[in-house]
Amino acid sequence: MARSVRISGTARLRQRLEELPEDIKDALKKGVRESAEAVRDDVKQHVRVDSGNLRDTAAIRYEENGLAASIGWHDPSEFYAVFQERGTRRVPANPTLLPALERERGKYRARLTDEVRRVLR
């Protein structure tokens, strides 16, 4: 069961990214990092708090040389995050990952565009 969300591009985009100059790649990595941090911070703000562990352990893992990010709970000891996300018979669902991703979705493209434009100026 999913306990994280992933921000990434398509395979074709990855091939084309390899051909880009390093300063453009760095700009894209910065945009990915900013969006990943925004999603993680949103999750931390909206996750249901009991002991505070889920709030404190929501994390980002960067992949593909920083061009992709996985946000969520990556440690197996946080298996119960899925119960918070989807709910159980006794605990109502309190989804935080997908709503945080949806709130960031519109800003993601703008972040990438802004970072690349800064480099090209």
Q: Around Cβ 55, how many Cβ atoms within 10 Å?
A: 16
The whole-model pTM stands at 0.82
Question: pLDDT tens for residues 25-84?
Answer: 899 999 999 999 999 999 999 998 888 889 999 999 998 889 889 999 999 999 999 999
Going across the sheet that includes 4-7, the strands are 4-7, 68-72, 59-63
Strand ranges for 1-121 from DSSP E: 4-7, 59-63, 68-72
Please give the Cα distance from 93 to 100 (Å, whole number): 15
51 DSSP assignment: S
Strand ranges for 4-116 from DSSP E: 4-7, 59-63, 68-72
Residue 9: pLDDT band (50, 70, 90) is low
* pLDDT confidence of residue 20: 81
Question: pLDDT tens for residues 85-114?
Answer: 999 999 899 999 999 999 999 899 999 999
